[in-house]
Amino acid sequence: MTPVNDLVSAALAARQHAHAPFSKFLVGAALEDSSGRVHSGCNVENATYGLTVCAERVAIFKAISEGVRVFRRIAVAADTDNLTPPCGACRQIIWEFCGDIEVILVNLGGKSETIRMKDLFPRPFDVSYL
Ligand code: THU
């Protein structure tokens, strides 16, 4: 298991790579897989705005594209006093690919909070309905 501080550091480091010229809102994510490997992501905006991809989904899609399928937890870093939670689209994707994992929210001041996905995203729609 990756020490939680290492996961938080990876999310903070990924945040530095955020491409957010429109919102200026930089976000980093670090996703730990079942072997302890960490997959990082940052938000990537574009001129249409709507095609923006959040840090969490970048991290998940990077991992999926490398054949990884089982995940333990994800850290999300942003520069807000009120800790930034994943958006609705990211909650759906985190749920579908990671299930009821821990989500560790952190800011630049060292504040953090850990929430389980089942609490962050109650009554999800998923493959069980199809
Ligand atoms: N954003 C993320 O990357 N993750 C979140 O959890 C919240 C929002 C990004 C999307 C957009 O680039 C910027 O933050 C402002 O919404």
| Centroid of ligand 1 to alpha carbon of 15 (angstroms) | 11
Is the pTM here over 0.85, yes or no? yes
Question: Which residue from 16, 87, 104, 115 has its CB within 8 A of the most atoms of ligand 1, so it is best to mutate?
Answer: 87
* Four-residue CA torsion sign, 59, 63, 69, 72: negative
Nearest CA to ligand 1 atom 9: 54
Query: Which residues does ligand 1 sit against, CB inside 6 Å?
Result: 20, 23, 25, 27, 43, 45, 52, 54-56, 76, 84, 86-87, 90
pLDDT tens digit sequence for 36-92: 999 999 999 999 999 999 999 999 999 999 999 999 999 999 999 999 999 999 999
pLDDT tens digit sequence for 3-25: 889 999 999 999 999 999 999 99
User: Residue 81 CB: number of other CB atoms within 10 A?
Assistant: 9
Sheet containing 102-106, strands listed edge to edge, beginning at the edge strand earlier in sequence: 38-42, 27-33, 71-78, 102-106, 112-116
Contact 92, 71 (CB under 8 A): no
